[in-house]
Amino acid sequence: MADFTNLLGIRIFISCIGCVGNLILIFSISHSHAKISAVKSFEVFLLGLAVSNLEEILIVNIYDILILEDPSTRSGSWSCQLLQFLTIAGELSSILFTIVICIFRYEKVKDAKERVIHHAHLDNIMIAISVSIFCFMSSLSLSAPVFVINVRTQNSTTNCPPDFFQCDELHCPTQNYIYKFIFIAICNVLPMVVVTVTSCLIISLLLRQRKHVEPEIHVSGARHIVKKTKNSILQRSTVAVLAAMALFQVDWSLYLFVQLNFQTSNFEFWNEMKFFISTFYTSLSPYVFGIGNDLFSIKHCTRR
């Protein structure tokens, strides 16, 4: 009982840390700009990520309180399916925004290396908003099959599980296994590959820039200082993105390892493990992005 109480305390602490971090990030971005035209594309993506993270953390906790602790709630019921749908949608939108942020940062670093005069493809406020809407709509669409999967694969005597792939081993349809691996391949493995490859490309560009940096003799002192300041800010932001990508890779690598190698229904503490896997990246990433991009400073939060 003491172990369960300590574990519950850790869960509450992590949830509070995650909610506070994402709320501060949302407030910092939305409060510091009076007009939408002043918002940067990168901040739009961070805002979408923070909203997704916050939704996921809140729904996971509501899920555990209202579903897992209520023995009268069964798989296939509307409340079970709705909360599973919202949980998966939050996870997927967080993953999609992570991919977009990683690709966007790669474009910015590449443009800075080549000293091109055009902006990155995603460096446009209207395009950024459109991509954000696409991420939210895609996550909702990819989560919709949960309304069908649970009704037909879960035993009526089984409580609503946190893993919507989980079903009775003796009565689990083949299509459920097929959908499970298709879902994991598209929504977990593919994002992991994209984030890993893009992160490696960013690191490669940074190493080349550092190797080929030469002192600019023909520029004035003031211009040189401004350029140096911009480069340092870009590098600091890029390091924050890479750190967040590392958290993402650790988090979802663990999830994939468990999903592909074990039967989650046999894990006594799978509910707790799933919670920590789900909230590890969503709770820490806002602090990494916020501190790395100077979004958590009092000066930035009070700027209008």
DSSP 64: I
Q: What sign for the dihedral angle of Cα 67, 70, 76, 79?
A: negative
- Each residue of 176-199: b (16+ CB within 10 Å) or e? beebbeebbeebbeebbeebeebb
* Angstrom distances, CA of residue 13 to CA of 4, 7, 20, 280: 14, 10, 11, 12
Helices 41-63, 270-292: crossing angle, 10 deg rounding: 160
User: What's the gap between Cα 63 and its chain centre?
Assistant: 19
Could you tell me the domains of the chain?
A: 2-302 (1.20.1070.10)
Question: Partners of 159 in the beta sheet?
Answer: 74
What SS3 state is found at 113?
A: helix
User: What residues have CB less than 8 Å from 276, skipping those under 6 apart?
Assistant: 11, 14
Count Cβ atoms within 10 A of the Cβ of residue 77 and give its class: 0-12 exposed, 13-18 middle, 19 or more buried. Answer: middle
**Each residue of 93-111: pLDDT tens digit?**
999 999 999 999 998 888 7
Q: How far apart are CA 282 and CA 187, in angstroms?
A: 16
**Three-state DSSP class for residue 49:** helix
What span, in angstroms and rounded, lies between the C-alpha atoms of 274 and 61? 12
DSSP H or E run through 230: helix 221-261
Give pTM, 2 decimals.
0.85
Q: pLDDT 10s digit of each residue in the chain, 304 long?
A: 445 455 777 888 888 999 999 999 998 888 766 566 667 888 899 999 999 999 999 988 887 776 656 655 555 577 778 888 888 899 999 999 999 999 999 988 887 665 555 566 788 888 999 999 999 999 999 888 888 775 444 444 446 766 666 665 566 667 677 777 888 888 889 999 999 999 999 999 888 877 655 544 444 444 444 445 555 667 788 889 999 999 999 988 888 887 777 666 666 666 677 778 878 899 999 999 988 888 877 665 555 5
